[in-house]
Structures are given as structure tokens and as C-alpha cells.
């Protein structure tokens, strides 16, 4: 059985801490109704009514290479792809069911294509696997908290054998961990409470599941949703006494934790905020509420400044294309990352108070000032002293930035001011990054 070991843990999370930015991809049959990945549950849709999307799943424009290229160009270092979502539809060639993309009209194993594409692009490979399954006959239906047929007594659970579902779940995870080469990250989703049948780590035979995954893929990272669900705390890693199902990182959803996440002992935890670009994970025709690229850039910086990662979602449409609005955001993010990536990769908390002008990130003796708002006159950088400053430059051009000597700052002899020049408009109005090399 798997046992926690802090040294091994620190080693396996090292790449993840470096990466800071990843792409989440939610895609499946639900892209066709185009009302989000919860469509069956939200609309209490019976399986038979969902079948039309299976029969129409041709995905003519799906090219995982393009997804991977878009991610890479945006500065992302890893991807997480929904191998199976709650609807139970599998995007891989599973020997345990015919409810897979291989049996739809397109006859493709998208996990295989995705894994190859991600590796070719030099990205780490993550798979999302839903613990919930609204297709499997042995998964609780009536009375479950989320199942599409939860309110319909005709779907009673009398002849359902949950242990059969567990064999299936374990078997599929074994397939994913065996048939596709090295998998860097497994994103299980999620445990929850049913009134008389709580879906917890033990319910999924979580200890056994984790042991199998870690045996088949010794370096893999696992999220913490076997134990928790984005609600209900941060799991046993947080307590300082990690159980067999502990996650390697916390995964707050649609929220950036106000001050980062520390465990009970006050140690910084590894975390990743998963965030949609609009308001849905799966492709949604009527959701045009996309976050502007400027906002996404600053939110990435916010995550890093608090010691975490951003997993930014795209929901390819029914043809398999990433929506145009998402591609535009990714392009702008990529342009910014291309010159400012050093202030993101491998960076974390600066352990300085949040500055008025924006945010700090830090990596070793490099302090990055993310300037969103210019000052009148020279820019004060609170928390450091002049004798600590070896060099200052703009990250985007490496242009030297002098320490300001103007008389206007003379009443503050102990503060360091940067001289950003005569232009009141910042070179990059979204986030101008000033790199300060500290002597210690």
C-alpha cells in the first residue's frame, strides 16, 4: 500500500511548482447539446435522449495537435484532458465498455491522440477522470445527489451492484495508466455526500486506487478530490498527516484563494486554481461571458504571487475546435508570457506586503514587480532596501531601470524608488514587469 513520504513528495511536485500554468480541456458528447457538461443532470435527461449526441459525434475538426500548439504558444507547461466526464462517455479505447469515442461515428481514441500531441509539444500530460458516472448501470441513480435520474423512483437502485461499478472504475484507471505511456498527472473528480450513501475516498476504494496508480505511474501527481471536492477543506495533506488517498495538490475551483493555502502547520501548500474562461467548463453556445485577456494575465500573476498554479479551461465545440474567443485570450496571454515568462515559471510568494502598484512574484534573489498602475513620479517599492538592490531592469526589453534620485523622493530616504522614465503610460498597460535582482 502507498505510504506518504515527504521527500519523495517534494521531488514529484517540483515540475508542477515550476510550471505554474496549464490548460484544462473539457470535451465530450456534451459539446453537441452545447449547454455545458452537466446538461444531463441539470435537465434530468434520460440516457436514451442523450444517445443522439453519441450517434452524431463526428468531431470533424478535432485536432489535439492544434490544442497542444495553442497551449504551448500561450506559455502553458501542462494539460489536463477529460478522459471521462460525469456523463460516463469515454474519449479512450476502453475494453470495459462500448460507451467510448471509438464506437461513435468518428472511431477515434482521443486520449491516444491527445497524449501524443501533448508530448510532441513538450507539455506534461494530465488526465481528468470522473468518479461519478451517469452511464454505468451500477452507479446509484434514484436518490443520488447529482444523477440525472435522481428524482425518478423508476430508477431505483435495487439491482445495482456498486462494487461492480468500482471494478469498472478501477479497471478503466488501470487502462489509462497502462496503455498511454507516461501520465504526469491524474485529476479525479470528485467525492461528495449522499444522504445514505456518502461518496467518499473509501467509497471508491480510494487507497487501493491510489496505490495502483502510483505503482503503475510512480512519478504521477494526483489531485485531492478523492478526499474532498473543492469544498470540505484541503484534505489530509493539509493536516500534516496524509492518508493513503491524500492529493498532491489542492484544487480550488473558480476561485483564487485569498492568501494562498497553508497547511495546519503553516507550511505553504501546493495548489492549482482551475478557472473557466467563460462561465462553463464544457462548450456552451449561449455563454459569451469570456474573461478579457488582460484579466487572465493578472489572475495568473495573482496565483503565482500566492504560490499557486492556474489551470485555465477551454471547452472545444462539437466540431472539436477551441472557441475563437478562447484562442484570442490564449494568443494575448502567450504574447505576454513570451517576454515575461521568467516572472511566472518557478516563481512564488515574495513574502512582502502586496504593493499598491500591483503584485510581487519572486524566484530566489529575483523579485518581480508586476506594475498595473503607474505612480506619479518615481515608483516606490516597499519592503526592500537600497543596499539589497543589485540591478533593476524591465523584463520585456532588459532595459536598465535606475534607482530614482530626484529630489521629490527626498523625504523618504529609506525607501527604494524606481525611475521608470518620463512617460506616464506604462510600456505594457496590462502588466509591466520590473525585475529586481537582490543581493540576497
Residues that bind ligand GLC (CB under 6 A): 26, 37-38, 189-190, 230, 253, 274, 281
Least distance from C-beta 229 to ligand GLC, angstroms?
Answer: 6
Q: Considering the complex, state which of residue 89 and residue 190 has its C-beta at the smaller distance from ligand GLC.
A: 190
Q: Considering the complex, state which of residue 176 and residue 274 has its C-beta at the smaller distance from ligand GLC.
A: 274
| Cell, residue 88 | 460516463
Question: Nearest CA to 9 among 258, 201, 224?
Answer: 224
Least distance from C-beta 85 to ligand GLC, angstroms?
Answer: 6
Residue-level length of the chain: 440
Q: Considering the complex, state which of residue 303 and residue 430 has its C-beta at the smaller distance from ligand GLC.
A: 303
151 close to 44: Cβ distance less than 8 angstroms: yes
CA distance 10 to 179: 27
CA dihedral 393, 395, 399, 401 (to 10 degrees): -30
| Cell, residue 183 | 501520465
Least distance from C-beta 14 to ligand GLC, angstroms?
Answer: 24
Backbone angles phi, psi at 109, to 5 degrees: -95, 100
Q: Considering the complex, state which of residue 91 and residue 394 has its C-beta at the smaller distance from ligand GLC.
A: 91
CA distance 162 to 424: 65
Q: Considering the complex, state which of residue 184 and residue 189 has its C-beta at the smaller distance from ligand GLC.
A: 189
Q: Considering the complex, state which of residue 87 and residue 428 has its C-beta at the smaller distance from ligand GLC.
A: 87
The DSSP symbol for 225 reads T
C-alpha distances in Å from residue 194, one per residue of 64, 66, 341? 37, 40, 44
Least distance from C-beta 38 to ligand GLC, angstroms?
Answer: 6
Q: Considering the complex, state which of residue 135 and residue 362 has its C-beta at the smaller distance from ligand GLC.
A: 135
Least distance from C-beta 230 to ligand GLC, angstroms?
Answer: 6
168 close to 96: Cβ distance less than 8 angstroms: yes
| Cell, residue 56 | 452524431
Q: Considering the complex, state which of residue 207 and residue 230 has its C-beta at the smaller distance from ligand GLC.
A: 230
CA distance 317 to 397: 38
Question: Nearest CA to 28 among 61, 54, 63?
Answer: 54
CA distance 351 to 162: 48
64 close to 113: Cβ distance less than 8 angstroms: yes
What are the helix (H) ranges across 97-205? 110-120, 162-178
| Cell, residue 48 | 436514451
Least distance from C-beta 244 to ligand GLC, angstroms?
Answer: 22
Q: Considering the complex, state which of residue 139 and residue 281 has its C-beta at the smaller distance from ligand GLC.
A: 281
The DSSP symbol for 26 reads -
Listed in sequence order, the residues at least 6 apart from 398 whose beta carbon sits closer than 8 Å to its beta carbon are: none
CA distance 257 to 247: 17
Q: Considering the complex, state which of residue 273 and residue 420 has its C-beta at the smaller distance from ligand GLC.
A: 273
Least distance from C-beta 270 to ligand GLC, angstroms?
Answer: 17
Q: Considering the complex, state which of residue 165 and residue 190 has its C-beta at the smaller distance from ligand GLC.
A: 190
Listed in sequence order, the residues at least 6 apart from 144 whose beta carbon sits closer than 8 Å to its beta carbon are: 150, 194, 197
Least distance from C-beta 44 to ligand GLC, angstroms?
Answer: 16
Backbone angles phi, psi at 93, to 5 degrees: -85, 95
CA distance 90 to 111: 9
Task: Determine how many CB atoms are found less than 10 A away from the CB of residue 435.
Answer: 19
Give just the sign of the alpha carbon dihedral 388, 391, 396, 400. positive
Q: Considering the complex, state which of residue 24 and residue 417 has its C-beta at the smaller distance from ligand GLC.
A: 24
Amino acid at each position: 500500500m502507498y505510504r506518504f513520504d515527504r521527500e519523495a513528495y517534494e521531488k514529484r511536485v517540483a515540475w508542477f511548482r515550476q510550471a505554474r500554468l496549464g490548460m484544462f480541456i473539457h470535451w465530450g458528447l456534451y459539446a453537441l447539446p452545447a449547454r455545458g457538461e452537466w446538461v444531463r443532470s441539470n435537465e434530468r435527461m434520460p440516457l436514451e435522449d442523450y444517445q443522439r449526441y453519441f450517434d452524431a459525434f463526428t468531431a470533424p475538426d478535432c485536432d489535439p495537435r492544434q490544442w497542444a500548439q495553442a497551449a504551448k504558444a500561450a506559455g502553458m507547461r501542462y494539460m489536463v484532458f477529460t478522459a471521462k466526464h460525469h456523463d460516463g462517455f469515454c474519449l479512450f479505447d476502453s475494453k470495459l465498455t462500448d460507451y467510448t469515442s471509438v464506437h461513435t461515428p468518428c472511431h477515434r481514441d482521443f486520449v491516444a491522440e491527445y497524449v501524443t500531441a501533448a508530448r510532441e509539444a513538450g507539455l506534461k500530460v494530465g488526465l481528468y477522470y470522473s468518479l461519478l458516472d451517469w452511464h454505468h448501470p451500477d452507479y446509484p441513480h434514484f436518490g443520488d445527489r447529482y444523477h440525472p435520474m435522481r428524482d425518478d423512483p423508476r430508477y431505483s437502485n435495487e439491482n445495482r451492484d456498486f462494487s461492480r461499478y468500482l471494478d469498472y472504475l478501477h479497471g478503466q484507471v488501470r487502462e489509462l495508466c497502462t496503455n498511454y505511456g507516461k501520465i504526469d498527472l491524474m485529476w479525479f473528480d470528485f467525492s461528495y455526500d449522499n444522504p445514505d450513501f456518502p461518496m467518499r475516498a473509501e467509497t471508491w476504494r480510494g487507497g487501493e486506487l491510489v496505490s495502483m496508480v502510483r505503482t503503475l505511474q510512480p512519478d504521477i501527481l494526483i489531485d485531492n478530490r478523492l478526499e474532498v471536492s473543492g469544498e470540505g477543506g484541503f484534505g489530509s495533506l493539509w493536516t500534516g498527516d496524509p492518508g493513503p488517498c491524500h492529493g498532491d495538490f489542492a484544487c480550488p475551483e473558480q476561485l483564487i484563494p485569498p492568501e494562498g493555502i497553508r497547511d495546519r502547520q503553516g507550511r505553504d501548500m501546493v495548489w492549482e486554481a482551475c478557472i473557466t474562461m467563460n462561465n462553463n467548463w464544457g462548450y456552451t453556445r449561449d455563454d459569451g461571458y469570456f474573461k478579457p485577456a488582460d484579466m487572465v494575465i493578472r489572475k495568473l500573476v495573482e496565483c503565482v504571487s500566492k504560490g499557486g498554479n492556474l489551470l485555465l479551461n477551454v471547452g472545444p465545440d462539437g466540431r472539436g475546435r477551441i472557441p475563437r474567443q478562447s484562442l484570442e485570450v490564449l494568443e494575448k496571454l502567450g504574447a505576454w508570457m513570451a517576454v515575461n515568462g521568467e516572472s511566472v515559471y518557478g516563481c512564488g510568494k515574495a513574502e512582502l506586503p502586496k504593493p499598491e502598484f500591483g503584485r510581487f512574484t519572486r524566484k530566489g534573489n529575483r523579485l518581480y514587480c508586476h506594475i498595473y498602475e503607474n505612480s506619479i513620479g518615481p515608483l516606490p517599492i516597499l519592503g526592500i532596501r537600497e543596499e539589497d538592490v543589485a540591478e533593476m531592469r524591465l523584463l520585456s526589453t532588459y532595459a536598465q531601470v535606475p534607482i530614482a534620485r530626484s529630489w521629490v523622493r527626498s523625504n523618504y530616504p529609506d525607501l527604494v524608488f524606481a525611475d521608470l522614465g518620463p512617460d506616464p503610460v506604462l510600456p505594457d498597460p496590462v502588466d509591466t514587469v520590473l525585475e529586481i535582482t537582490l543581493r540576497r
